[in-house]
A and B are shown apart, each in its own frame.
Chain A
């Protein structure tokens, strides 16, 4: 938006308290719809008093006149009573004027009142209409840009008065009050000008703005404190009587006017002011930025409040127009015939829409227009192809509603939209050829009636339905009739089934395809806004804007099986019901409620990070070390990746992190993976584990991604589809066939994989960890030599790993971690950890476990094997401790409250508890 500023007064309109001669106190202009906009100086106190007083007088006058109108009516009734009482009806019929003249003389007071009231009534009509007209006069008829919208001041001077609009005439009553209040704010802080912050402070008193702020989930106290701080900063020592708009305030007002004009409003409302104020840099925008509110959010919240009005208007218009739509199956021209057979196997969508049973359709004008264009162009049948939940049915509902109000092309006017029920068509058909015959009868009824447009939802289900071998199936019968353009059908299907069963077949040729795409985030939010009135009414709760925003964001990120807007709507329904039962009626559904539900559904922590959790995240390394000994590099790398993921600083188009763990067996690679699953997903079992040594053949690809006939689902794809947020552990990855590794290239790079059925599986919430023993001998020998781990890692990547993995594959990993072979000290620590685990198991039986240092040392020594890491240790503990304890338990040597002590030489002593 361009502003043309007076070069003499710099846009203020006044120079040292006097009107600028150059611009005549207008100061600044802006073009809109071929008109030059300016804003007059703010009303002075006396002008405001005159305005308010004038309004009061006007209202009082209208009330008096309306009451007088009642007196007039009573006078008329009085006159009628006299006429009836005196039996003058025949005279009234034969000589009405004569009688009236007679009554005018005999009942002159009553007649006088009557005529005076008539004049009063006419004045009321004038006053109401005049006011409405004046409001309209302040707006250009068109919002389009015209060719002569010059931007140079020289040319602006030549523009006539008629093409200028003073936007302050277009202020609504509320806006006038807000401007007056903002003037008071400016006066209070001794400011010479009304600044946007003063307008904003005054705006907060308005009811619509209160609603918007509440919807945004802003804490009023914090907001007010911030405003007060800014007002205190802006306060100046100078005091002045005449307060003017600052340059920024003028810009805000002009912008608000264009916003209101674009929305075809008849008055500049406070909501327009709020929206405009946040589009300019300045304190208000900064306040919102600080409160994590973006201008787009404010725009959408304003739209939300507008949507309520729009829906109300739409409902009124619909009810008015629906009266003209015939109730039954017969059209207005009576050419249609009764269709009893069709009626049995279908439901009339136009009648459902007429009765108000079908919901409204928001933001789908583009698709509906395309459908109308195809129908008008060649009367061809249409198939809407889109993923489940993207709104195919809603679009058809929208068309039904428009057919009720006849807001459709001529081909569709005075027609019925009838949805064929496939289940009813098939139900109970036992004789050969019965289904085919039913369809034939239905289609012939549709053709003969001529006022029916058939809707067939999920038309792919029709393919293959036949009761006689060797004959055509029902879809082919339909295709045959469609090709003759005898019937108009509006069908729906999903992309995979459309490709498989319809495209390229006879049925596909009969249809023109219209793709229905998933709406983008902003459109979905607007669709949700249109849905909230019903949801709020049903659940008696209120949605904040954050709830809507997060519902869209989280459902996009974490719920991959379904599509927008349906999945977001369903999520909101669930949250609303949950909040109602937890917090009760009139509670506000916030972003955190949505996040909590998503966390509950997926196990991924998405709620705001609490103080406790941030401490936990900062001390992640310690937490992991409680389960894992040493391997500091690996633990640090994993912890950093998890912190990145939790604070949402990771790429959302790749897995959370891709890691390759290298090292000899038994050093803790799998243990670390399990720990990660527990820390991030809350459960160590949230792990998909694939032993890649089973995928050494090229043919085993089908085991991973499934077979094209859909008989066997892929072990990888199905597992990830079922649990999209988990840890994917690929054991011994170097043993897999190179083609299989190629599949993981795409997973690691793009975070998705297409299975054999063509479904895209999302891997963006996966932590991918590959383990490998490749280069073990090298690692061990280098560690013995005392080479630093980083150096070993580098040498491994550069030289040793190239024999197993291609460089581009290694490149995809966010980190390649070398696990060191375990030292005897490490094994000792691990022994303690393992005994701790055992002690926990015994705790459940009421038995205590203690181990002397000597016993621990002996166990560690027996369990240490430089080749196999900590694995033999488990066996040693099992043989020397677990087995003996099992025997003790069975023979009753150990009972509840006893303490078992492991001592030197492998002896196990039982300290018996005192008898009670």
Chain B
């Protein structure tokens, strides 16, 4: 009887400790991870969309078309592509930033909502 009591108390204490640590973790380690994830994500997105390459090749003719008209068309086409990719980049980065903001705000907001509903 005593043995099981000790175990139950110990489990309860551990669980309580873990629950109390939840908000602390959320705004320390958790937040740090989200921020580093945000920067890493932006960097990967930048690389995967090939934005730097598009900049570099802005004046390079597409599909080996080296004629004057080819070069002009190519330039505008590349510009269009660049804008499209930049747009995509901004949108996707925006989504990521919003997610981080949600991480920061959601917990207190939810607690506030619950309290305001209960009181």
Point out residues on A near B: beta carbons under 8 Å: 46, 49-50, 53-54, 57-58, 61, 104, 108, 111-112, 115-116, 118-119, 122-123, 126-127, 129-130, 133, 324, 330, 332-338, 414, 448-450
**Neighbour of A335 across the interface among B6, B26, B60, B110, CB < 8 A:** B60
Closest chain A residue to B29 by CB distance?
Answer: A133
Which residues between 101 and 119 of chain B lie within 8 Å of chain A, taking CB atoms? 106-107, 110-111, 113-114, 116-118
Q: Do A126 and B26 touch (CB < 8 A)? A: yes
Query: Known contacts being A115-B114, A129-B30, A333-B50, is A123 close to B63, with CB within 8 Å?
Result: no
Q: Do B15 and A112 touch (CB < 8 A)? A: no
Q: How far is the CB of B74 from chain A (nearest CB, A)?
A: 8
B side interface size, CB within 8 A: 39
User: Quick one: which of A104, A111, A335, A336 has the most chain B CB within 10 A?
Assistant: A335
Q: How far is the CB of A10 from chain B (nearest CB, A)?
A: 32
Chain A hits for B6, CB < 8 A: 46
Q: Do A58 and B64 touch (CB < 8 A)? A: no
Query: What CA separation (Å) do A333 and B59 show in the bound complex?
Result: 11
Which residues between 14 and 71 of chain B lie within 8 Å of chain A, taking CB atoms? 14-15, 18-19, 21-22, 25-26, 29-30, 33, 48, 50, 53-54, 57, 60-64
Query: What CA separation (Å) do A122 and B113 show in the bound complex?
Result: 15
Query: Known contacts being A54-B11, A112-B118, is A119 close to B60, with CB within 8 Å?
Result: no
Query: What CA separation (Å) do A90 and B8 show in the bound complex?
Result: 54
Given contacts A108-B117, A112-B117, A449-B64, 16 further A-B contacts (CB under 8 A): A46-B7, A53-B8, A54-B14, A57-B15, A111-B113, A115-B113, A122-B22, A126-B25, A133-B29, A332-B50, A333-B50, A334-B57, A334-B77, A335-B60, A335-B61, A336-B63
Q: How far is the CB of A851 from chain B (nearest CB, A)?
A: 95
Interface string of B92-103 (1 = CB under 8 A from A): 000000000000
29 A-B interface contacts by CB (under 8 A)? A46-B6, A46-B10, A50-B11, A53-B7, A53-B11, A61-B15, A104-B113, A104-B116, A104-B117, A111-B117, A112-B118, A118-B106, A119-B110, A119-B114, A122-B26, A126-B22, A126-B26, A129-B30, A332-B53, A333-B50, A333-B60, A334-B62, A334-B63, A334-B81, A335-B61, A336-B63, A336-B64, A337-B63, A338-B63
Closest chain B residue to A131 by CB distance?
Answer: B18
Q: How far is the CB of B48 from chain A (nearest CB, A)?
A: 6
Point out residues on B near A: beta carbons under 8 Å: 3, 6-8, 10-11, 14-15, 18-19, 21-22, 25-26, 29-30, 33, 48, 50, 53-54, 57, 60-64, 77-78, 81, 106-107, 110-111, 113-114, 116-118
Query: What CA separation (Å) do A334 and B63 show in the bound complex?
Result: 6
**Neighbour of A58 across the interface among B15, B21, B33, B118, CB < 8 A:** B15
Q: Do A324 and B48 touch (CB < 8 A)? A: yes
Closest chain A residue to B53 by CB distance?
Answer: A333
Query: Known contacts being A104-B117, A119-B111, A126-B22, is A50 close to B10, with CB within 8 Å?
Result: yes
Closest chain B residue to A105 by CB distance?
Answer: B117
Chain B hits for A119, CB < 8 A: 107, 110-111, 114
Chain B hits for A111, CB < 8 A: 113, 117
Chain A hits for B111, CB < 8 A: 119
Closest chain B residue to A335 by CB distance?
Answer: B60
Q: How far is the CB of B79 from chain A (nearest CB, A)?
A: 13
Query: What CA separation (Å) do A879 and B90 show in the bound complex?
Result: 107
Q: Do B7 and A50 touch (CB < 8 A)? A: yes
